[in-house]
Homo-oligomer: A and B are copies of this chain.
Amino acid sequence: MIGALKLSSAQQAMLGRALIASSLDRHERDALLSCAVAVRYEPQDMLFYEHEKARYFYCLLSGYVRLFRGSDGREADISICEPGESFGEGLVLAGDGYNYSAQAMEHAILARFDIAQVKGLLREKPRIAGAIACSLSQHLLSTMDCLARDRMQTSPQRVAHYLLTHCTSEGTRASLRLPFQKSLLARKLGLAPEALSRAFSALRTSGVTVSGRAIAIEDVDLLRQV
């Protein structure tokens, strides 16, 4: 980890639009942001480990962060956080240890909130609890979605869903550029990298062309049928 700086005003603006602060008024938002500093991590750096005592929660400003559990050699990713998402915010209300490990992918810049300070804030500005609840609710939904998808869909279907929800479509045709390595996408989807690769080749029949990180979709509706 490199330095703990005050949030720049651009970063403050970005945080204001993030889910964790978007339902707050000006004063509440300023109070919440006063508990935070900006921190920067290098690729592969660990932010914290599972079971470690939790002093901070985070909101991602840029880059990607991987949340995962791993007893031994075996690891399972729980979520790949994208800019604007927060994690660990539930610890403000209950619990005192992290429930998963967090690792930066690429260079990552985050707002780091002091849990004890925010806990103190709750007394005078109780609506902050509502903002946290909002964020938690969103997380819960996406985690449930992920769980249901893992249990119902095969790997090509999961990949197709990812493509369809992340592409920019121009009529019947669409395309996208993966924001990170394929191996990370694989883990996000709960697959081995090889399985992702095979899923992509299986989707060639449905008009998906992959070249590096660039992906082209011939016919959105065709892909939806998968």
Q: Which residues of A contact B (CB under 8 A)?
A: 68-69, 71, 74-79, 90-91, 93-95, 99-100, 122, 126-127, 129-130, 132-134, 136-141, 143-148, 150-152, 190
Contacts and interface: CB of A to CB of B under 8 A. Distances in A.
A150 B147 contact: yes
A94 B137 contact: yes
Contact of A140 (B69, B76, B122, B136): B136
Given A69-B152, A138-B94, A78 B130 contact: no
Contacts of A74: 152
Nearest to A67: B144
A133 B140 contact: no
A144 B78 contact: yes
B137 A95 contact: yes
Contact of A122 (B130, B136, B152): B130
Given A78-B144, A150-B150, A130 B69 contact: no
A101 to B, nearest CB: 11
A217 to B, nearest CB: 21
Contacts of A68: 148
A138 B140 CA distance: 10
Contacts of A139: 140
A68 B68 CA distance: 24
Contacts of A127: 126, 129
A146 B126 CA distance: 31
A156 B195 CA distance: 24
A90 B133 contact: yes
Nearest to A92: B133
Nearest to A152: B76
